[in-house]
């Protein structure tokens, strides 16, 4: 569904908004419509570049009154490219990047266009942080509304577990505040339900004392060590303290001077570790992973938390073609490890990666029905993310991704993280919400019965 706004609609938008309204052909339109995943580049009929909640309300009102399809762009990092729907009115929040920290209450309020880089820059000035994405260019809004995993999540919970309140523009144009004490049912749905209920214009988070340095880094191994390394990794994470987060990545070895030339470009096992606590204790906790075999590289050291948060920025650049497939696993049996090792070498596409993300810790101590995010009992998230520059490789690389995903299905629990769903996975939305889906559908009927906010992994209202 799309629309071609006539001059009347464009005039109404421009009269009502303080920020620019861009149509195809206008200066700045192409930059505004650009999202991270170039494979899903779309052309909105108009872009409303909002400067605040008043602009958002005006854009939502006009979309509702004229029955216009509406998409919302925060960081623009959606794997499914949903922020820039074809022919829609895009509500562009990317100019709304303010973050205000209150060091006394250890809270921060960030606007909906802020990235985690924006957020961490402000909070780390006070030695504070909240769990956020592992790529600094990811938007705070989309990450939090779907869940929010990262280096600190096992210790402090998901991003949404640290959300104290939110300001929301609803489908009827009203502006509401949602928290545990005010509009509590809406607040429940916002924590994991994505953008299904409104446009969140600001988020208030609980902060924690983190940094300015954390013990973190990468431990890189050749594929010859991969199967044994994953078995050790599984054993370490089975008894790991909350302060330890250790990802197991498979990546292309980057051509950097610290790594011998013969490994450049090869597939390798990469333990990406963070210990969010006392460094001396962390050294002891990390010893089994660091003493395994003879790594290509051991880059674990005290480093700035903001540097840790930017570790993957260069490897996930804007403008590539991306495809995402994911599972949740309740365990990591030998058969699953063997399946991973069998498929990852070689990785197709220069930016492709496959990784295991341990859950547990603080994530798993929240009741699965306490928020809309239900996957509290999973042991691992498993993600196949392929990235490449050339459209003529689409079919080959996407088929490889689907085949690998299918091969891992026997080891999966049937659930999936909504933030990792691809554009072709609307059939998996119910799996993303599991036992919470029916409650979300009822909330949708209450807050958005006409499904204005449908350019997302959509929960349809109960009919």
SS3 417: coil
Give helix 226-238 / helix 334-344 axis angle, nearest 10°. 140
Q: Where are the beta strands (DSSP E) in 113-234?
A: 128-129, 163-169, 175-179, 199-206, 208-209, 213-222
Mean pLDDT, the chain, rounded, equals 96
Tell me what pLDDT residue 177 has.
98
Summarised one tens digit per residue, pLDDT across range 123-161 is 999 999 999 999 999 999 999 999 999 999 999 999 999
Q: How confident is the model at residue 59 (pLDDT cuts 50, 70, 90)?
A: very high
| Per-domain boundaries in the chain | 7-92, 99-210+436-447, 213-425
- Asked whether the beta carbons of 372 and 193 are under 8 A apart, the reply is yes
pLDDT of residue 115: 98
Instruction: Say if residue 213's pLDDT is above 80.
Output: yes
Is the pLDDT reported for residue 359 higher than 70?
yes
pLDDT at 463 over 90: no
Q: Would you state the structure tokens that stand for residue 266, as one six-digit string?
A: 């090869």
On whether the 99-210+436-447 domain is CATH 3.50.50.60, my answer is: no
At residue 266, the pLDDT reads 96
In the chain, the N- to C-terminal Cα span, in Å, equals 21
Query: What's the rounded mean pLDDT across residues 363-374?
Result: 98
Q: How far apart are CA 248 and CA 251, in angstroms?
A: 10
CB distance 136 to 129 below 8 Å = no
Architecture of the domain made up of 7-92: 2-Layer Sandwich (3.30)
Mean pLDDT calculated for residue range 300-305: 98
Nearest to 76 by CA among 51, 54, 97: 97
- Compute the distance between CA of residue 221 and CA of residue 274 in angstroms, rounded to an integer: 17
Q: Is the pLDDT of residue 1 over 70?
A: no
Question: Is pLDDT above 60 for 215?
Answer: yes
What residues are paired with 246 via a beta bridge?
A: 273
Among 65, 100, 228, 83, smallest CA distance to 145 is for 83
Determine the 3-state secondary structure of 34 from DSSP.
coil
- Which pLDDT score is estimated for 211? 87
What's the pTM? 0.96
pLDDT for residue 6: 73
Predicted pLDDT at 2: 63
Confidence of residue 415 (pLDDT cuts 50, 70, 90): very high
Does residue 236 register a pLDDT over 80? yes
Residue indicated by tokens 């006539």: 6
Mean pLDDT of 309-318: 94
User: CA–CA distance from 307 to each of 121, 220, 257, 328 (Å)?
Assistant: 10, 18, 19, 28
Kindly report, residue by residue over 170-192, the tens digit of the pLDDT: 999 999 999 999 999 999 999 99
Going from the C-alpha of 121 to that of each of 97, 111, 226, 347, 415, the distances in angstroms are 12, 14, 36, 34, 34
49/19 Cα distance (integer angstroms): 5
Return the SS3 of 405: helix
70 pLDDT above the threshold of 80? yes
Burial class (CB in 10 A: 0-12, 13-18, 19+), 105: exposed
Q: Is 183 left (phi over 0), alpha (psi -120 to 50) or beta?
A: left
Confidence tier at 41 by pLDDT (50, 70, 90): confident
Task: Kindly state the percentage of the chain with pLDDT values over 90.
Answer: 96
Arch. (CATH architecture) of 213-425: 3-Layer(aba) Sandwich (3.40)
Work out the number of other CB atoms within 10 angstroms of the CB of residue 107: 19
**Which residues are CB-contacts of 180 (< 8 A; sequence separation ≥ 6)?**
187
Predicted local confidence at residue 63, as pLDDT = 96
């Amino acid at each position: 569904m799309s629309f071609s706004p006539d001059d009347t609609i464009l005039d109404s938008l421009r009269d009502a908004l303080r920020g620019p309204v861009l149509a195809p052909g206008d200066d700045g339109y192409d930059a505004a419509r650009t999202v991270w995943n170039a494979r899903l580049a779309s052309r909105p009929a108009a872009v409303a570049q909002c400067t605040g909640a008043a602009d958002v309300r005006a854009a939502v009102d006009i979309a509702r009154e004229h029955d216009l399809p509406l998409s919302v762009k925060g960081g623009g990092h959606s794997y499914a490219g949903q922020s820039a729907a074809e022919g829609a009115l895009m509500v562009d929040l990317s100019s709304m990047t303010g973050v205000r920290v209150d060091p006394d209450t250890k809270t921060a309020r960030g606007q909906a266009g802020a990235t985690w880089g924006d957020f961490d820059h402000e909070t780390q000035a006070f030695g504070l942080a909240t769990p956020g994405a592992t790529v600094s260019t990811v938007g705070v809004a989309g990450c939090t509304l779907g869940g929010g995993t990262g280096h600190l999540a096992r210790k402090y919970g998901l991003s949404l577990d640290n959300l104290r309140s939110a300001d929301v523009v609803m489908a009827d144009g009203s502006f509401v505040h949602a928290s545990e004490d005010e509009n509590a049912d809406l607040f429940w749905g916002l924590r994991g339900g994505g953008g299904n209920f409104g446009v969140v214009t600001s988020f208030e988070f609980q902060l924690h004392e983190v940094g300015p340095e954390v013990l973190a880094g990468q431990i890189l191994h050749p594929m010859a060590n991969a199967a044994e390394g994953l078995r050790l990794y599984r054993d370490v994470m089975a008894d790991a303290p909350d302060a330890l987060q250790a990802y197991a990545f498979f990546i292309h070895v980057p051509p950097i001077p610290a790594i011998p030339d013969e490994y450049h470009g090869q597939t390798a096992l990469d333990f990406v570790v963070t210990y969010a606590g006392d460094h001396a204790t962390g050294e002891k906790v990390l010893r089994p992973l660091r003493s395994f075999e003879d790594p290509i590289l051991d880059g674990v050291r005290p480093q700035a938390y903001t540097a840790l948060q930017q570790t993957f920025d260069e490897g996930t650049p804007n403008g590539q073609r991306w495809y995402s497939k994911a599972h949740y696993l309740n365990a990591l049996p030998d058969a699953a490890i063997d399946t991973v090792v069998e498929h990852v070498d070689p990785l197709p596409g220069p930016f492709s990666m496959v990784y295991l993300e341990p859950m547990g810790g603080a994530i798993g101590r929240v009741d699965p029905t306490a928020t809309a995010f239900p996957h509290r009992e999973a042991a691992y998230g498993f993600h196949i993310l392929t990235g490449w520059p050339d459209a003529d490789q689409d079919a080959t690389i996407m088929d490889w991704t689907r085949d690998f995903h299918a091969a891992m299905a026997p080891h999966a629990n049937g659930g999936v993280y909504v933030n990792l769903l691809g554009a072709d996975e609307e059939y998996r939305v119910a799996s993303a919400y599991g036992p919470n889906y029916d409650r979300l559908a009822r909330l949708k009927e209450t807050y958005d019965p006409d499904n204005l906010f449908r350019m997302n992994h959509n929960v349809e209202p109960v009919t």
